[in-house]
Amino acid sequence: MNTKITSIIFLLLFLAPIPAFADDDDSEDAIERLGWVAIGAGVIANLPFIMFNKWRKYAVRAGGQSLLMARQAVLFYKPVLNFHIILNSVGYFAGMMHGLLLVNNLDSISLSLAITMTVLMTSGILLRYTSSRNTKVFNRLLHGQFVLVFLLIALIVLHVLIGND
Amino acid sequence: MKALTFGLFLLLSLFVVTVPTIFADEDEDEWDDDDRSEYEQRGSSEIEREQEREREREHEDDDDDEEGLAFGGGMPDTILYGTIVVIIGSVAYTGYKIYKTKRPKLSA
């Protein structure tokens, strides 16, 4: 029963980008706004998650009172992780929809961005949902690669700059 | 849960296949009944001249679009190749890291 409710909420969250299309006659503007929804969802999904993990690591290393706080924060890890997964999924699908609707203006930078997003999304899904230990280890290392995160941010910035031109 | 995942995957695949088709450009060279009757009324040479002018205009528009790119011709392609290299490199590095950790040490 609980799984069913979670699945329905999860599916409904994919409809979250729809307000981007509300009350607008100009479809190009609405599609562009869908891209901003993707960027916004990505920022909100990742910044708190990365900060939470960094703080936990720092607290464990520091010891004492911080270690106790880090142990108590373990309770919050699962909800924060679910929030990260759900919002990233919304952002990914919003971004892909934005790309599909503007496929006529596809350039190399947008394609690079789509490839990078897909690699990170796939590794994240495999990391969360696979039961194989080897796949889990591989995807844990791949998903946390600094170079991929840096590449994603650089491509988003370039994509926005070129889109504005 | 498995059926739901399968259904979601099917829906997504259908969506990916249908959406680009809806937004794809119609073939402008295709003739419908109106074009045929217009061709018969106005004669071939006038219509051909008009089509030629239209083609030239489209060609000019394409040139303008290419000039509008912020990074010139080669730069975006370099970024695409760079992205592919970085992704393959990351996957290979991750695999190597795991291989190095798991490889049993040879005793002398």
Q: Which value does ipTM take for this structure?
A: 0.75
**Nearest in space to A103 (alpha carbons), one of B50, B100, B20:** B20
Confidence of residue B11 (pLDDT cuts 50, 70, 90): low
| SS3 annotation, chain A | CHHHHHHHHHHHHCCCCHHHHCCCCCHHHHHHHHHHHHHHHHHHHHHHHHHHHHHHHHHHHHCCHHHHHHHHHHHHHHHHHHHHHHHHHHHHHHHHHHHHHCHHHCCHHHHHHHHHHHHHHHHHHHHHHCCCHHHHHHHHHHHCCHHHHHHHHHHHHHHHHHHHC
- Read off the pLDDT of residues B60-99 as tens digits, 9 standing for 90 and up: 665 555 544 444 568 878 899 999 999 999 999 999 988 8
Asked whether the whole model's pTM tops 0.95, one would answer no
- Output the furthest CA–CA distance in chain A (Å, rounded): 59
Residue A50 or residue B52, greater confidence: A50
Compare CB distances from B79 to A108, A137, A148 and report the shortest one's residue.
A108
Residues of B with Cβ-Cβ distance to A104 under 8 angstroms: 23, 25
- Output the furthest CA–CA distance in chain B (Å, rounded): 94
Residue with token string 């194989």: A132
Which chain B residues have any C-beta within 8 angstroms of a chain A C-beta? 1, 4, 8, 16, 19-20, 23, 25, 68-71, 76-77, 79-80, 82-84, 86-87, 89-91, 93-95, 97-98
Residues B64 and B83 in one domain: no
Residues B62 and B80 in one domain: no
Answer yes or no: is A31 within a domain: yes
Range of the domain at B94: 71-108
Confidence of residue A31 (pLDDT cuts 50, 70, 90): confident
Answer yes or no: is A6 within a domain: no
Indicate the number of domains in chain A: 1
Answer yes or no: is B11 within a domain: no
What percentage of chain B exceeds 90 in pLDDT? 13
Indicate the number of domains in chain B: 2
Q: How far is B70 from chain A (nearest CA, A)?
A: 6
- Looking at residue B55, its pLDDT comes to 78
